[in-house]
Structure formats: structure tokens, C-alpha cells
A and B are shown apart, each in its own frame.
Chain A
Amino acid sequence: MTELTKLTIAQIRAGLSAKDFTAVELTDAYLGAIDAANGKLNAYVAVTADKAREMAKASDQRIAAGEARALEGVPVGVKDLFATEGVHTQACSHILDGFKPRYESTVTANLWNDGAVMLGKLNMDEFAMGSSNETSYYGPVINPWRAKDSERDLVPGGSSGGSAAAVAAWLCAGATATDTGGSIRQPAAFTATVGIKPTYGRCSRWGTVAFASSLDQAGPITRDVRDAAIMLKSMASVDLKDTTSVDVPVPDYEAALGQSIKGLKIGIPKEYRVDGMPAEIEALWQKGIDWMRDAGAEIVDISLPHTKYALATYYIVAPAEASSNLARYDGVRYGLRVPGKDITEMYENTRAEGFGREVQRRIMIGTYVLSAGYYDAYYLRAQKVRSLIKRDFDLAFEAGVDAILTPATPSAAFGIADENLANDPVKMYLNDIFTVTVNMAGLPGMTVPAGLDSNGLPLGLQLIGRPFDEETLFRAAHVIEQSAGRFEPSRWW
């Protein structure tokens, strides 16, 4: 029998229903793999072995009774940003030390209602602020991918670095993740996994630790396109507890796979051809265009003229919302408390010790751009530019474009503690240059592995769709996957 942990979610579904193995055997295989690998990869910050075995046992009973649900017995990992009842939920921040919520996030509740098994909580950048998973209080995650003939540790990307690394290293069958500026898509691209950030409002934000509320969306990271379709269908729902959850039925995304893309209009935005972009990425993009054309799609050149302002807009809007959302961490209601001579000093000491450097930096920027006298110059102007960014996409879609194809990232995975990046926060922010516009406009975006660079490291392509048209993305992504093939790291851990 093939290694159980190498099976996709679709294969698990078939194998469990054919009684080739049990859910308990599968979960035990994963728990063993985590035990052996986590010391090296640091993908999990909490493993819930007992709970996992209990859930798997219940799944086996369901299967025996012929009552299997959509994700019955499928072992998944959960980003530490999702509230899981009675289980470690700290957004990988020191300030949430010991926090165990008394409630369950809607997204994870949906997964458990569909029979999924929780293996544990996954490492991430602190409060999802970062592009390398190095801002986690629990230390960096190591990418299971290494360059050819190199033993150098690489980052898995961020902020969902633990999710991407765990999926790529066969430490869970699929993982939940979140994306505020690229936090699902960039790590997926760095690890040759598939990641989709659905339309804003598709997955409930209830019970997910808030970073920037107008941008945050949950989505899955999986090993292939089909698994992403299966998992997103479970995660997405209409939720009365989130007023921005949109009341549109969740389609069967899997049914879109294999549908022809003949006649689809795929837009190629010229503004994504950025200065200094490596030739390999340019070549990969061209390959993607050829695959689409060969499959019958019509390629059209489009212009999204405000693309170049998206990152600057993001670094006003996101910190502003974060400074407001993170005001709640004051040492009173949960987590860390550092004493002071009075209550104000207690707040200040708690927040100084509890938040890491990147989080403090963003709270400071956010507080500044919202402060009296600066609001109009920074925040209001940024929200106006955001309207223009969204209008660029609206115009392209109105002109008949069905989806947009771009590179996923401006480079492959880089080294841990890269000095060039560590000393310049803005340089690190440039990682999200291709992904951040999608959040600004609330659109669905998906990255698919498309090839390896000359060092043997994965590169991805991104597809951007109309609001609530994830199905077209799955259709087109499936074509890329069929053309590019799949990529696996060679196991060194």
C-alpha cells in the first residue's frame, strides 16, 4: 500500500469508502509523521493527538454505518488564527499566551460538521503580519523545499507558512489558512501547493482573529486543485454571525474541474511585468499563457493602471484596521498581563512585551495615519485610491474578461534571516506585489504550482476571478495543473 500520508483528500475519500484503511490508521500515520518531522520543520505549534484519534474513531463509526460526510476522516491542520474550542489559539503571538477560546470559529465548525479530523494548530506570522513566517513568537517554519545541492534553510512564505509547509511535507492532508494581502497564495507558491483566497464574504470571519477586517478572508491550502475545491466547499458558508458574509449559495466547486476553458477570455495585465522581475518568472508566465491558449482560451492584453499603488494603499489601510482591531489586547480580558504602577502603565507594558516588532510597527503606522490631522492625508486618500484599484478590475471584467493570469510572486522562496530583507521592512512587503491588489478589490485569487526555477525551487501562477466566480478559477487552475504536472520536495527532514 502507498504511504497513507501521501494520499490526496480525493484519494482518502475513495480509500475510506472502499475500506482500504480506517480513519484511525490514517490519523495515526499523520501523528507519526508530525512527531518525526516537526522538530525540524516547526510547522505545528500545538498537536491535538487525543482529540484527533477521538474524531477519527467517530468517523470510522460513521463510515461503517454508511453515514460518511464530505470530509469524513480527513486529517487537517488549522492555522493558529482560527478559534478552536478549548485548544491553543494564540495567532502565534506572546500576547495571547494560554488563550483557549470557549467557542469555535465558523470555518472550523463547518469542517468538523463535515467529518474532518483536527491534527493541531499551525504556525504563522504573528497576527498574520509577515511574508516569511519569521515573525511568529514560536520561531520560523522551515520550508520542506531546498535548493538543488543546498542544505540552506528557506522560508515557506507567510503568513500561512505553517499551513503551506505542513501540506507540502505530508503533515496534514489539507490546511486552513487566511489571506489579507497574499498570506494564502504566496506560501502556496513557495511550497508547490495550491491555495485559494475566495471572494471577500465567501467564508465567515466569525471566530477568526482579526487583522484587517475589510481584507481578511479564509481559504484552504492543499496538494492539488481538486482538494482545494473539496475543502473550500466545506469552509464556505453563509453566516448570520458575520455581517459581511454574503448570502449566495455555495456551489459544488469540484464539478467545475475538467470543464473546458474553450472560449474563456483570459486577461494578461501589462502592469504585472515589473522592473527587475527574474527572467524565469517572465518565462513561466508565458508558459501559462501558452497552456491557456492551447486549451482553447482567448488571450487578451488588459491594463490595470493603478496596480503600482496597491502596496502603498495596503500599507495604510491594513495597519489602520490592525491598530483598531488589536486595541483589545490590553492584559485585561485574556492572555498576557505585565504589571505597571497604574492601569495605563499595565496596558503599555503588556503591549510592549506581548507584541513582536513587526506587529508594533504596524500598530504604530496605523495609529499615526488615523490620528488627528493625518486622517485625510493618509487614510482617506488610500481608501480613494482603493476605489480606483477596484475600478480597474471592474472595467476589465465589464469588457468581457473571465479571469486574469499573473505570476504569483516576484521570486522563489528566500533564505531564513535574509539580511537584505530583515533590515528593510519595505523590501519584505514587496513580496505581496502580485497578490495584494486582489484583497484590495475583494476578488477571488488562486495560485497553482507551475514549475521549478533553475535552483529546483517551486514557482506558481495566479488566477484572479470575478466576485463569487471561484468556479472559473478552478476550471482554469485545473488546466494549468494538468499542463504543468505536480511537484514534490525530496524528503530530508
Chain B
Amino acid sequence: MSVDTDTVKRVAKLARIAIDEEAANRMTGELNAILGFVEQLNEVDVTGVEPLTSVIPVAMRLRVDEVTDGNKAADIVANAPAQADSFFMVPKVVE
């Protein structure tokens, strides 16, 4: 399988990365090189093989559903590019 420039632009949109025409062309070539490389996986017979979900066979650890942390609003927004009153500030979303 290979991708064309329109597909690359659609994927960039999904990934929320702004790309111009030149970058779209460059990435089309690069992505096709990588997709060409991974094509070899098609020759592997995977019939009846379960996908690997965890390398170490352990059961997911569970804990009691209780509050163990909190009251850290100032810490959480401390690194935000824009904040006010413990809120993250973003451009207007709703008209």
C-alpha cells in the first residue's frame, strides 16, 4: 500500500499538524519509504495468532476507588502558556 499527497494531508489533519504543499510532498515520499519497508509483514502467516497485548503476563492491578490525591490546581496550571484562576485559557471555542 502507498499513500498520495491527499492522504498525507488528511492524516496531517487527523494528527493536528499544519503542513504546507512542500511538506506534504516531502512526507509522501518519506511515508511511502516506511510503508514499503513494513510491507514485508504481509509474508508472515499469522493465522490463529493472538495479538500481543502485554509482554509480561500479569493481571491488571486494581485498587479501591477512593480519592488519594488532589488540591493541586496551582501545580497543574503552573506550566500552561495561558491561565487564569486555575483554568487553562484557550481561544474562544463556542460562539
- Where the two chains meet, the residues of A that have a C-beta atom closer than 8 Å to any C-beta of B are 98-103, 199-201, 214, 240, 243-244, 246-247, 306, 308-309, 311-313, 315-316, 323, 327, 330-337, 339-340, 342-349, 351-352, 355, 360-361, 363-365, 367-368, 371, 374, 377-378, 380-388, 390, 424-426, 429, 440-442, 467
Contact = CB atoms under 8 A, between A and B. Distances in A.
B52 A383 contact: yes
A220 B82 CA distance: 37
A336 B77 CA distance: 14
Given A386-B51, A387-B49, A426 B80 contact: no
A368 B35 CA distance: 10
A200 B54 CA distance: 10
Contacts of A364: 8, 11-12, 15, 17, 27, 31
A311 B34 CA distance: 11
27 contacts: A98-B79, A201-B56, A243-B60, A246-B58, A306-B44, A309-B41, A334-B81, A345-B18, A346-B90, A346-B91, A348-B16, A351-B18, A352-B18, A360-B17, A361-B34, A368-B35, A381-B46, A382-B41, A383-B52, A384-B50, A384-B52, A385-B44, A385-B49, A388-B44, A390-B52, A426-B37, A442-B56
Contacts of A426: 33-34, 37
A385 B41 contact: yes
B55 A442 contact: yes
Contacts of B37: 311-312, 315, 426, 429
Contacts of A371: 11, 14
Contacts of A387: 49-52
Interface of B: 1, 3, 7-8, 11-12, 14-19, 27, 30-31, 33-35, 37-42, 44, 46, 49-56, 58, 60-61, 63, 72, 75-82, 88, 90-93
B34 A331 contact: no
A99 B78 CA distance: 9
Given A334-B79, A349-B18, A355-B17, A380 B51 contact: yes
Contacts of B27: 360-361, 364
Contacts of B75: 102-103
B41 A363 contact: no
B80 to A, nearest CB: 6
Contacts of B80: 332-334
A8 B31 CA distance: 45
Contacts of B44: 306, 309, 381, 384-385, 388
Nearest to A340: B91
Among all A-B residue pairs, the 4 with the closest Cβ atoms: A442-B55, A383-B51, A337-B81, A348-B18
Contacts of B58: 201, 244, 246
Contacts of A429: 37
Given A100-B79, A337-B81, A368-B31, A390 B55 contact: yes
Nearest to B55: A442
Contacts of A347: 16
Contacts of A100: 79
A309 B37 CA distance: 10
A306 B44 CA distance: 9
Given A337-B82, A382-B41, 11 more contacts: A240-B61, A308-B40, A313-B41, A339-B91, A343-B92, A360-B27, A361-B30, A364-B17, A383-B53, A384-B49, A385-B49
Nearest to B12: A364
B41 A333 contact: no
B59 to A, nearest CB: 10
A348 B41 CA distance: 32
A98 B78 CA distance: 11
Given A351-B17, A441-B55, A381 B41 contact: yes
